[in-house]
């Protein structure tokens, strides 16, 4: 509670104002959760950007190796390992995204429920976009794996000839 004097009506004397501490705590918790969500979504988007760069680099490496005709088992093994690591990281990020979606608190007080519903719709759209990007990356990794397999077959044929 805070006591103050209304300068417009000094005849009223000191007046008391009460803060709704529970409501303020709930709003602070909601804001903290929103910041956390935005931070984690930004991290997932950064991961997608990094994966794009790594996939582009791998595609370039595969293209160079196919052009040269000097594909060695060691290079293919390294590329396969790198692709397997990328697939593992993508899987981890999918699990993190699922954990993030599951960790959203459902314990907000009733006055925060409407706000939560509005934010939930926005988050679903963002998560859907992230899932679509991750699925696209999975397809790219599968395509690169297939390219590597074909490159190894070409090298094997070249070695036999």
Q: What is the pLDDT of residue 73?
A: 65
Report d(CA 50, CA 48) in Å as an integer.
5
* Confidence (pTM): 0.33
Cβ-in-10-Å burial (0-12, 13-18, 19+) of 58 comes to buried
Residue 69 gets the label, from left (phi > 0), alpha (psi -120 to 50) or beta, of: left
List per-block mean pLDDT (blocks of 10 residues) for the chain, which spans 161 residues: 78 75 86 95 94 92 82 70 80 77 60 81 86 91 94 91 74
Q: What is the pLDDT of residue 70?
A: 62
Residue 109 near residue 22, CB atoms below 8 Å:
yes
Q: What is the pLDDT of residue 39?
A: 95
Q: What is the pLDDT of residue 87?
A: 77
């Amino acid at each position: 509670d805070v006591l103050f004097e209304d300068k417009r009506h000094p005849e009223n004397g000191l007046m008391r104002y009460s803060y709704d501490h529970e409501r303020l705590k709930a709003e602070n918790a909601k804001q903290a959760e929103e910041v956390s969500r935005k931070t984690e979504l930004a991290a997932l988007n950064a991961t997608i950007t990094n994966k794009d760069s790594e996939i582009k680099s791998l595609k370039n490496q595969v293209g160079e190796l196919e052009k040269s005709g000097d594909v060695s088992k060691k290079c293919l093994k390294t590329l396969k390992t790198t692709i397997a690591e990328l697939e593992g990281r993508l899987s981890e990020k999918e699990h993190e995204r699922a954990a993030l979606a599951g960790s959203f608190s459902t314990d907000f007080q009733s006055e925060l429920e409407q706000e939560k519903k509005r934010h939930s719709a926005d988050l679903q759209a963002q998560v859907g976009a992230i899932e679509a990007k991750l699925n696209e990356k999975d397809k790219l990794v599968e395509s690169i794996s297939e390219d590597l397999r074909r490159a190894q077959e070409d090298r094997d044929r070249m070695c036999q000839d």
